[in-house]
Copies of this chain bind each other. A is one copy, B any other.
Amino acid sequence: MRRHARGATKLRVMFGTEIAIGPGKAELLRHIARTGSISASARRMGMSYRRAWLLVDTMNRCFREPVVASAAGGSGGGGARVTAFGRKVLERFDAMRRRVDRALDPELERFAGLLR
């Protein structure tokens, strides 16, 4: 999986020194929304469950409300879901990304010409 195209930009929203949300956490949120599971999302993204859980934990700590609600036990052994608040966070982050892409479109094209 190609992570970053040549000359692409990466946007992160910082909360102090921690990354409240960035490309990776946003993708993780989308996986959790689709699979309803942190561990399944971790497998699909090729990362350890521990890392996925830490990313979720960081997000839940950075934002005013949890972006992911999880439950252990129950049908299917439990699961995790993206809260309505989490969907809003994701929507706004994606909107920010689109804005950045549009705003940088002319600049970035020229800037990429400076790269090897």
Give A residues with C-beta under 8 Å from B.
3-17, 20, 61-64, 85, 88-89, 92-93, 95-96, 99-100, 102-104, 107-108, 110-111, 113-116
**Number of identical monomers bound together in the oligomeric complex:** 2
Contacts of A7 in B (CB 8 A): 13-15, 20
CB contact under 8 A between A15 and B63, given known A99-B107, A107-B99, A110-B92:
no
Given contacts A4-B17, A10-B12, A14-B8, contact A62 B96 (CB under 8 A): no
Q: Are B12 and A9 in contact (CB under 8 A)?
A: yes
Check A64 against B102 for contact (C-beta < 8 Å).
no
Q: With a CB–CB cut-off of 8 A, which chain B residues contact A6?
A: 15-16
Given contacts A99-B103, A99-B107, A102-B103, contact A116 B15 (CB under 8 A): yes
